């Protein structure tokens, strides 16, 4: 019971899932195992991006460069691949680019003191622009089969994408829960002054966290291009909204210091289910964004309202 109280958002996630189950029962094929595995597969890119963004939000930052980096990381990887390079090296190159952009975000925030939303917004635009330049504005595709296997292949009946996503979530969760830096990330989100006074290099932590976020976004982008067998320079764009929605629905506090990566995964799955249900109902993707946006606003409003209520109640004389 205590645990449930601690994560009040679980109740909301539970409610959302119940609502989806009820809604789903009106949609044929919604409940087939294939469809649910497919939902997980479609959520994998969002979930991977959310691993990094969760950490950023925990340290009271925000990463708006996710969309641009998803496109650009994949574009770098794709173009190198079409030039006939080794697939693994191409993927590493794409990831390195994402990491570099993320580290740059962190540097600007930590060392220069630029507000995170400005830095990351601009960096995201630059990354998206570079993706357009690299591909001359068109899309590229026709990648080797082994690359497609990462995105669309299955292993023991489960999509490979799902294993990759699980690996990111597990490593991210362990990092946050069990390592020194993970626990310092939470502390930093709670009270930066205290952390600095303990002799911890807070700038280093910030730069690394933004670096991780950029890296995750690039990995998500590469996975997406493998799933679609194509890279379009603006295909990462929708992933910014979904990633932040996943974090928020997963209960990552916008006030910093609180949030769990596995809950962000649940958030990503909730969005995946909503999108899937809307798709099956034949709703156009444009309208879907409106609904996802409305969900974010409602969830944030409820959590802020709850917090304010708690502050009011805890005030004793």
Partner 1 sequence: MSETILEMRGITKYIFDSEGIALKNTNVKILDNIDFNLRHGEVHVLMGENGAGKSTLMKILGGIIPPDEGEMVLEGQKTGFKNPMEAKAAGIGFIHQELNLCQNIDVAHNMFLGNEIMKNSVFMDKKEMYQRSAELLARIGCNINPKTIVRNLSTAQQQLVEIAKAMSYHSKILIMDEPTASLSQNEIDILFNLIRDMKGKGISIIYISHRFEELLEIGDRITVLRDGKNSGNMDVADYDYDKLVNMMVGRTLEKMHSCTHIPQEEEVLRVEGLKISEKTKPIHITVKKGEIVGLGGLVGSGRTELAQSIFGARRFPSGKVYYMGERIKKPNPRSSVQKGIAYLSEDRKLDGLVLPMDIRENITLAYLDRFFKNRIISKPREREIAEGEARELNIVCRSIYQLVSTLSGGNQQKVVLAKWLSQMPKLLILDEPTRGIDINAKAEIYKLMDEIAGQGVAILMISSEMPELIGMSDRIYVMRGGTISDEIDKADGITQERILQGALN
Minimal distance in Å, beta carbon 286 to partner 1? 39
What token pair was written down for 237?
A: 């764009």
Within 108-159, residue ranges assigned H as helices are 116-135, 145-152
Q: Of 146 and 308, which has the nearer Cβ to partner 1?
A: 308
Let me know: does 189 contact 258? Beta carbons within 8 Å.
yes
Spatial CB neighbours of 258, under 8 Å, sequence gap ≥ 6: 58, 189, 251, 252
What token pair was written down for 234?
A: 């603006």
Of 70-78, 89-97, 223-231, 251-259, which segment contacts partner 1 by CB under 8 A?
A: 251-259
CA separation for the pair 16, 37 (Å, rounded)? 19
Q: Which of residues 6-35 bind partner 1 (CB under 8 A)?
A: none
Minimal distance in Å, beta carbon 257 to partner 1? 4
**Residue 307 backbone class (left: φ over 0; alpha: ψ -120 to 50; beta: rest):** alpha
Of 96-104, 209-217, 255-263, 272-280, which segment contacts partner 1 by CB under 8 A?
A: 255-263
Q: Of 2 and 34, which has the nearer Cβ to partner 1?
A: 2
Q: Of 111 and 196, which has the nearer Cβ to partner 1?
A: 196
What token pair was written down for 126?
A: 């630059």
Let me know: does 267 contact 285? Beta carbons within 8 Å.
no
Minimal distance in Å, beta carbon 203 to partner 1? 15
Q: Which of residues 170-229 bind partner 1 (CB under 8 A)?
A: 174, 178-180, 183-184, 186-187, 189-191, 193-195, 197-200
5 binds partner 1 (CB under 8 A): no
Q: Of 24 and 189, which has the nearer Cβ to partner 1?
A: 189
What token pair was written down for 302?
A: 């409820």
User: SS3 letters for 182-209?
Assistant: HHHHHHHHHCHHHHHHCCCCHHHHHHHH
Q: Of 133 and 174, which has the nearer Cβ to partner 1?
A: 174
Minimal distance in Å, beta carbon 13 to partner 1? 20
State whether residue 215 is helix, strand or coil: helix
Q: Of 42 and 184, which has the nearer Cβ to partner 1?
A: 184
Q: Of 232 and 260, which has the nearer Cβ to partner 1?
A: 260
Binding mask 125-154 for partner 1 (x = CB under 8 A): ------------------------------
Please pick, from the candidates 3, 22, 113, 315, the single residue that binds partner 1 as defined by CB under 8 A: 315
Minimal distance in Å, beta carbon 194 to partner 1? 5
Which string of b and e fits 248-274 if b means at least 16 CB within 10 Å? bbbbbbbebbbbbbbbbbbbbbbbbbb
CA separation for the pair 63, 57 (Å, rounded)? 8
Question: Token match 């590229």: residue?
Answer: 140
Q: Which residues bind partner 1 (CB under 8 A)?
A: 174, 178-180, 183-184, 186-187, 189-191, 193-195, 197-200, 256-258, 315, 317
């Amino acid at each position: 019971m205590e645990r449930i109280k601690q994560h009040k958002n679980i109740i909301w996630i539970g409610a959302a899932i119940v609502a989806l189950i009820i809604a789903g029962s009106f949609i044929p094929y919604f409940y087939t195992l294939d469809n649910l595995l497919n939902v997980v597969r479609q959520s994998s890119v969002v979930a991977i991006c959310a691993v990094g963004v969760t950490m950023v939000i925990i340290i009271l930052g925000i990463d708006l460069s996710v969309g641009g980096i998803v496109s650009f990381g994949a574009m770098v990887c794709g173009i190198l691949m079409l030039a006939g390079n080794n697939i693994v090296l191409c993927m590493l190159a794409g990831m390195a680019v994402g990491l570099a952009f993320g580290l740059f975000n962190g540097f600007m925030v930590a060392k220069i003191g630029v507000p995170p939303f400005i830095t990351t917004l601009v960096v995201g635009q630059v990354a998206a622009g570079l993706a357009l330049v690299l591909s001359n504005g068109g899309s590229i595709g026709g990648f080797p089969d082994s690359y497609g296997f990462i995105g669309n292949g299955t292993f023991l009946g489960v999509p490979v994408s799902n294993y990759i996503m699980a690996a990111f979530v597990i490593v991210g969760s362990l990092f946050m829960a069990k390592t020194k830096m993970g626990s310092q990330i939470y502390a930093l989100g709670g009270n930066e002054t205290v952390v600095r006074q303990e002799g911890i290099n807070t700038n280093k932590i910030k730069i690394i966290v933004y670096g991780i976020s950029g890296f995750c976004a690039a990995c998500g982008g590469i996975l997406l291009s493998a799933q679609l067998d194509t890279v379009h320079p603006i295909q990462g764009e929708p992933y910014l909204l979904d990633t932040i929605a996943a974090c928020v629905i997963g209960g990552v506090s916008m006030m910093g210091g609180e949030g769990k990566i596995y809950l962000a995964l649940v958030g990503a799955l909730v969005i995946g289910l909503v999108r899937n249900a809307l798709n099956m109902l034949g709703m156009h993707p444009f309208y879907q964004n409106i609904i996802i946006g409305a969900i974010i606003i409602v969830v944030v409003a409820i959590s802020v309202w709850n917090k304010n209520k708690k502050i009011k109640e805890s005030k004793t004389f």
